[in-house]
Structure 1
Amino acid sequence: MTAKQILIVEDEKPIRDMIAFGLKRAGYEVREAEDCREARVQVADQAPDLVLADWMLPDMSGLELTRLLKKDPATKDVPVIMLTARAEEEDKIRGLEGGADDYITKPFSPRELVARIKAVMRRHGADDEDEVHTLGGLTLNAASHRVTAAGQEVSLGPTEFRLLKFFITHPERVYSRAQLLDRVWGGNVYVEERTVDVHIRRLRKALEPSGCDRLVQTVRGAGYRFSEQVGG
């Protein structure tokens, strides 16, 4: 499988070198930029699989760079992790609302950074090895973003698609609402647990004509399970 490409946007060379070393050891291909102008040139040349952007950069902030990337149709799906010394909750919220997919405060260990990168890529489907998943008459193609149930194509919103993708790749296990929020929405997204119930209902409604809604089972007092077996 081709190594995932990560662009590091950091003006301090020692920090950039340290991050690059850790990512290369973890098997990633690394590109580097010391300011936003250089980063935008590199992204225009070839979009990376993920961008690590420092908040404080010499020409514009990493937050402004993130907003520009998210506004551009060619790069809006490229995940961005903000790197910063700012640890206040308000700053984290500003970063996330500005379009960042995650936020990591300095100092951080290479292991923590790699774990965050893997989590973000998982949420974006960027680390899928198996692109087609089948269970109980349902087929989900991660590459083409298509779902068929009993041979008929099913129309799903982006959140329902991610929810189904998580379920079909993690069958037979019960997940609480909090666990689903963490694994499907991401642990740093500010939404209520009842949001899970809303999207479960939407997913079931979309699957109902094929009878595949039975696969999404409520486990009273525990959460939800995706199973071909009759719920108990």
Structure 2
Amino acid sequence: MEETVFTVGNIKLNDDTHEVYYQDQLLSLTQKEYELLKCFLTHPKKVFTKANLYETIWQEPYFGDDNTIMVHISRLRNKFQEFTDQEVIKTIWGVGFQLNTG
């Protein structure tokens, strides 16, 4: 049986084993961080609003409290900063967030 693997740049996410690698280094992610990253990897050019991310990951309506999203994005960025100075998830001011594929 073939594994479901999403690869964008130096990031590889194995959806069968729930493992994420950056430059062949295994990252330890929480379930929500994993789900956020999977959103970005499965739609690498899409700009996600906070509402898009919240409703996709938490599966409930977004009422404008962006602290939950901001904390999880920040923690996910910090985990990548151990391996690179490149901002892996970039902020598109006034719109949302996008995977940095460049």
TM-score above 0.5, yes or no: yes
Shift of 1:189: 7.5
The aligned counterpart of 1:184 is 57
- Aligned 8 A contact 1:149 1:212 in 2: no
**Matches for 1:71-86 after TM superposition, within 5 Å:** none
Q: Compute the RMSD of aligned alpha carbons.
A: 2.2
Mark the CA change 1:178 to 1:130 in structure 2 (over 3 Å): closer, same or farther: farther
Q: Which has the higher contact order (CA 8 A, sep 6+)?
A: 2
The unaligned stretches of length 5 or more in structure 2 are none
The aligned counterpart of 2:78 is 205
- Aligned 8 A contact 1:136 1:212 in 2: no
Letter in 2 for 1:221: G
Shift of 1:212: 7.4
The structure richer in helix per residue is 1
Letter in 2 for 1:176: T
- May I ask how many residue pairs the two structures share in their alignment? 101
1:157 paired to 2:30 = yes
The unaligned stretches of length 5 or more in structure 1 are 1-128
Mark the CA change 1:130 to 1:179 in structure 2 (over 3 Å): closer, same or farther: farther
Shift of 1:211: 1.5
Q: CA–CA distance in 1 between the matches of 2:19 and 2:78?
A: 17
Name the TM-score, length of structure 1 as normaliser.
0.40
* 2:13 aligns with one of 123, 128, 140: 140
- Aligned 8 A contact 2:3 2:14 in 1: no
Mark the CA change 1:194 to 1:130 in structure 2 (over 3 Å): closer, same or farther: farther
Say which SS state the counterpart of residue 91 (structure 2) adopts: strand
Greater radius of gyration (CA): 1
- Aligned 8 A contact 2:44 2:98 in 1: yes
Say which SS state the counterpart of residue 48 (structure 2) adopts: coil
* 1:218 aligns with one of 91, 94, 98: 91
Using the aligned pairs only, state the percent identity.
33
- Aligned 8 A contact 2:47 2:92 in 1: yes
